[in-house]
């Protein structure tokens, strides 16, 4: 005796698997399950209602979702550019402001094809020369709309090179201006180009900008002989000298303007010699010889550039200086405590008197003996003109500061 069952209508026994939305009644009937024995077949085919199909919605968190945006440029097909560099600068500026990157698909002397770095994006530009022997380029094809993901737009990308940064800030250094420091360059690029660059890239961009306006050090060295020739032509009596090594590389340079040489005849015959280190890729040392006018202001006589501070470089510089001002017993050379200068001056200018710079001696005393209380008596002794007054301060220094007195008396010499 079997269990009784409730017989359902045929259309309730249809299996959902295998039924396609939007199919006709015949296909629905074929996919339906067979009714149990004794069930009545429907005379009309059953139509399964199809649910509405909604359009796909982009998920902003999905990297594969697409969006459409313009590059915001004014480019158009048929636009001309006087050379490839100007075209490249224009496209780079567009990419930086739009925060998207492009890559080169093809490049040679007469054609340049670039496209968005996203392979699914349609943005691309194709340019070529208007003629094989021309320097002008024309845009042949331009698709300025991006369909790539918003997540692929980058604010720190490959087009922000140091050369691009330098060209953008170059006008900040026109006319001998100091211009912005690397941090200032970072701010300018972030504000104008909506792009972040590292401190190192900003530093290189600043160096490139200054080179564009003022020329590179290599170009300046190449122009040095011509510069000296023009100086001698425009300033009668000017003395210049360039010294090179065995491989014809720059070694020493000397310059004394004719007006400075003639003006020295009316100055006090006291010459200060000093040096300072140069910054830059080639380093070096700047040597100067100065006098003092009646208003106690510095008067530049001559200056030079050498590779380093040593006996050879000082001998070369002081020999050139002796050629323009002579060597008499009226001259007094005031030196710092550098031993190399002291040795050379006594050899090259043996007729002149030699003294020590009071300021340098004071710095040595403070750094060596760590006592600043002596400075009052020291400067009073330096500035007096009478021997009696000088001897009085000398006695005071010997009584109160015996170690400093020993240094001044034995190593420097009070007569200096």
Count of residues for the chain?
Answer: 416
CB 100 within 8 A of CB 152: yes
- Tell me the per-residue pLDDT of 302-323, one tens digit each, with 9 for 90 and over: 999 999 888 889 999 999 999 9
- Tell me the per-residue pLDDT of 382-407, one tens digit each, with 9 for 90 and over: 888 888 888 888 888 888 888 888 88
Strand partners, 288: 274, 303
Strand partners, 255: 240, 303
Angstrom distance (rounded) from CA 151 to CA 58: 13
Helices 199-214 and 162-169, packing angle to 10 deg? 50
- Tell me the per-residue pLDDT of 44-65, one tens digit each, with 9 for 90 and over: 444 444 444 433 434 433 433 4
Strand partners, 335: 356
Residue found by looking up tokens 């310059």 in the block: 255
Query: What are the backbone angles phi and psi of residue 239, rounded to the nearest 5°?
Result: -110, 125
Angstrom distance (rounded) from CA 406 to CA 398: 8
Q: Provide the percentage of residues in the chain whose pLDDT is more than 90.
A: 22
Q: What is the pTM of this model?
A: 0.60
Least confident of 130-139, 233-242, 381-390: 381-390
- Interval 329-355 mean pLDDT: 76
C-alpha triplet 186, 192, 193: angle, nearest 5° = 80
List b or e across 24-33, with b for residues whose CB sees 16 or more CB atoms inside 10 angstroms: eeeebbebbe
256, 259, 262, 263: CA torsion to nearest 10: -100
Instruction: Specify the DSSP class assigned to residue 371.
Output: -
Instruction: Name which of 333, 401, 395, 388 is nearest 362 in CA terms.
Output: 401
Q: Provide the percentage of residues in the chain whose pLDDT is more than 70.
A: 79
Angstrom distance (rounded) from CA 414 to CA 416: 5
- Interval 237-246 mean pLDDT: 92
Instruction: Name which of 140, 138, 98, 139 is nearest 121 in CA terms.
Output: 98
Angstrom distance (rounded) from CA 365 to CA 358: 11
- Tell me the per-residue pLDDT of 156-169, one tens digit each, with 9 for 90 and over: 567 778 888 888 89
Confidence of residue 182 (pLDDT cuts 50, 70, 90): very high
What phi-psi label fits residue 409: left (phi over 0), alpha (psi between -120 and 50 degrees) or beta? alpha
Confidence of residue 257 (pLDDT cuts 50, 70, 90): very high
Instruction: Name which of 225, 185, 190, 188 is nearest 206 in CA terms.
Output: 185
């Amino acid at each position: 005796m079997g269990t009784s069952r409730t017989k359902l209508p045929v259309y309730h026994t249809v299996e959902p698997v295998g039924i396609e939305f939007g199919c006709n009644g015949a296909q629905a009937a074929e996919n339906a399950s067979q009714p149990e024995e004794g069930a009545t077949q429907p005379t009309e085919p059953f139509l399964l209602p199809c649910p509405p199909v909604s359009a796909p919605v982009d998920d902003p968190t999905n990297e594969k979702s697409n969006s459409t945006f313009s590059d915001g440029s004014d480019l158009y097909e048929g636009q001309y550019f006087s050379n490839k560099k100007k075209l490249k600068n224009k496209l780079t500026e567009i990419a930086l402001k739009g925060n998207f990157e492009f890559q080169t698909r093809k490049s040679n002397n007469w054609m340049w094809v670039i496209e968005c770095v996203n392979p699914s994006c349609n943005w691309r530009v194709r340019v070529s020369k208007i003629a094989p022997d021309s320097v002008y380029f024309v845009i042949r094809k331009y698709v300025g709309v991006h369909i790539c993901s918003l997540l692929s737009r980058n604010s720190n990308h490959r087009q922000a090179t140091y050369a691009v940064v330098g060209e953008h800030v170059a006008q900040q250094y026109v006319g001998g201006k100091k211009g912005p420091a690397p941090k200032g360059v970072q701010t300018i690029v972030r504000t104008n180009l909506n792009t972040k660059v590292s401190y190192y890239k900003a530093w290189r961009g600043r160096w490139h900008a200054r080179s564009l306006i003022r020329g590179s050090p290599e170009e300046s060295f190449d122009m040095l002989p011509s510069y000296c020739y023009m100086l001698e032509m425009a300033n009668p009596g000017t003395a210049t000298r360039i010294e090179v090594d065995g491989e014809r590389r720059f070694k020493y340079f000397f310059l004394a303007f004719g007006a400075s040489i003639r003006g020295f005849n009316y100055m006090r015959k006291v010459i200060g010699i000093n040096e300072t280190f140069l910054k830059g890729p080639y380093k070096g040392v700047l040597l100067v010889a100065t006098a003092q006018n009646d208003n106690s202001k510095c008067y530049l006589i001559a200056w030079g550039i050498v590779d380093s501070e040593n006996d050879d470089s000082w001998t070369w510089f002081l020999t050139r200086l002796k050629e323009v001002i002579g060597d008499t017993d009226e001259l007094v050379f005031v030196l710092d405590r550098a031993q190399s200068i002291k040795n050379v001056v006594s050899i090259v200018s043996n007729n002149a008197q030699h003294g020590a710079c009071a300021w340098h001696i004071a710095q040595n005393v403070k750094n060596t003996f760590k006592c600043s209380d002596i400075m009052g008596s020291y400067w009073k002794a330096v500035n007096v003109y009478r021997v009696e007054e000088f001897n009085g301060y000398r006695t005071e220094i010997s009584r109160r500061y015996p170690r400093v007195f020993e240094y001044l008396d034995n190593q420097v010499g009070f007569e200096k």
